[in-house]
Structure 1
Amino acid sequence: MKKIVIKLILAGLTTAGCMVFTSGSSQAQTATFTAVRAGIKGGFNASTLDLQNVNNRKEAYGFHAGVFAQIPAGDFFAIQPELLYTAKGASANYNVAFFQGRNTFRLNYLELPILATFKVGPSVELQAGPYGAYLLSANMNSEGTFGTGSQRLNTNDFNKFDLGLAGGVNIYFGKAFLGLRYGQGLNRITNTEGARLFLGDARNAVGMVSIGYSIR
């Protein structure tokens, strides 16, 4: 999944570079952060957990949605805090005795990224920075020998707080934009021995494709 997300970001950067080149140098020189910007955003998540001793894991798909603000700190530099609801997790097969199936773990967070934002052209921004997240809920969907079902997991089995690093690119089309981002958690998500029995020292990893709109 990381390779797919990296390819998406590289494709976005290539597109951004073409846009910067074709826009002309004079126009690029006048593209600056001039006022506080605020808006809404949302989109698609493809997430995984860096599980140990599992070779059949797959991505879990979800979404994110929230608000952002952009605070200029120079002509070509700004700080962008965001507040997002975001769904993460992973999917993996199990095969124990005569029981087979697939479990999908889903962890839902309230996330606060704080991103350094660099203007590299009239319509393109590069971003990087840390994020902090608070776990709201956790559940597991199962498909296998005993059928299909879903159960809520005890959040006490997981660390309530997650910290990580994120980076990506935004491409603006007027006030609307397309964003590509990758986030890597630094903390293990499990908090108890029981949870670590199934998930080990797993950490969150997520690729995000966003669309957004700048209200001002």
Structure 2
Amino acid sequence: MKNKIVSIALILLLSASFANAQEKSKLSFGILGGLNFQNLNGKDLGGDKLENDMLLGFHGGINVQIPIAPEFYFQPGIMYSSKGAKNTSGSITSTTKLNYIEVPLNMVYKASLGKGFFMLGFGPYVSYGMSGSVKTVSGSVTLNRDIKFKSVVETGDNILVPYYKAFDAGANIFVGYEMASGLFLQLDTEFGMLNINPEYKILSDDKSSTKNTGFGLSLGYRF
């Protein structure tokens, strides 16, 4: 399933490139990477607000920029992005890490500014969880558990295993500046719109919800 998601994302990028063949000389490709500052926001089982702290992660990937009108571009991409959060309760600290393959589908406005371009972009994204872990530390005791991706946790499943839904989707907005050389810097923010908590059959009154949120700083090169 994971290989299918990656293949579909690559096909989307290639299709977008060839869909505008008559403008082929104006297409450009970008490679970028940087830091994520992510959190998991939502409610716990009782419906109380989650009190998590941001977690430092990273991202990297490629995109293609397709002109659709003067100063406006369609910019699909494929990214590897690490997300998650940290939670401290008394002497216990838990760190949740979620690693995604992400496909952003942005509309970008670029206006000349100095010797380069001001950039403003926005659009949806879809992502699929590839791996993850939860590390719990209490004093000298450390427990590491791998995350399993499931939409529904059945009664017979091991409830000690951390579960999340694999699919996520949301919106992102970014601003940045691209130099004449092709180097660019951008700041983005993401708002997850789906609850990534699975349904627990064993729980009759589960009020929990978890959504990915955060921002990132990227450095890239367009050619």
Q: Secondary structure at the match of 2:194?
A: coil
1:155 maps to a residue whose letter is F
Residues 1:199 and 1:141: Cα distance change in structure 2 (over 3 Å): farther
The partner residue of 1:185 within 185, 192, 205 is 192
Residues 1:194 and 1:66: Cα distance change in structure 2 (over 3 Å): farther
Separation of aligned partners in 2, 1:55 and 1:205: 13
Separation of aligned partners in 2, 1:89 and 1:195: 25
Which of the pair is proportionally richer in strand? Answer: 2
Report if aligned partners of 1:51, 1:199 keep a CA contact under 8 Å in 2: no
Separation of aligned partners in 1, 2:195 and 2:184: 32
Identify the residue that residue 221 of structure 2 maps to in structure 1: 213
Separation of aligned partners in 2, 1:81 and 1:150: 35
Q: Secondary structure at the match of 1:51?
A: strand
Consecutive unaligned residues of structure 2, counting only runs of 5 or more, are 1-24, 151-162
Identify the residue that residue 169 of structure 2 maps to in structure 1: 163
Separation of aligned partners in 1, 2:80 and 2:103: 9
Report if aligned partners of 2:104, 2:126 keep a CA contact under 8 Å in 1: yes
The partner residue of 1:200 within 182, 204, 208 is 208
Task: Give the RMSD, CA atoms, in angstroms.
Answer: 2.3
1:191 maps to a residue whose letter is P
Does 2:58 match 1:63? yes
Shift of 1:193: 2.1
- Residue by residue, what CA displacement relative to the aligned partner does 1:179-206 show, whole Å, maximum 9, x if unpaired? 1000000000111328999992010002
Question: How many residues are treated as equivalent by the alignment?
Answer: 178
Report if aligned partners of 1:83, 1:112 keep a CA contact under 8 Å in 2: yes
1:206 maps to a residue whose letter is G
TM-score by length of 1: 0.76
TM-score by length of 2: 0.74
2:123 maps to a residue whose letter is G
Identify the residue that residue 107 of structure 1 maps to in structure 2: 98
The partner residue of 1:132 within 99, 102, 126 is 126
Which of the pair is proportionally richer in helix? Answer: 1
Moved more, 108-117 or 47-56: 47-56
Report if aligned partners of 1:133, 1:162 keep a CA contact under 8 Å in 2: yes
Residues 1:43 and 1:117: Cα distance change in structure 2 (over 3 Å): same
Give aligned-pair identity as a percent. 26
Residues 86-101 of structure 1 mapped to structure 2, 5 A cutoff: 86-95=81-90, 100-101=91-92
The partner residue of 2:183 within 155, 176, 186 is 176
Moved more, 168-177 or 124-133: 168-177
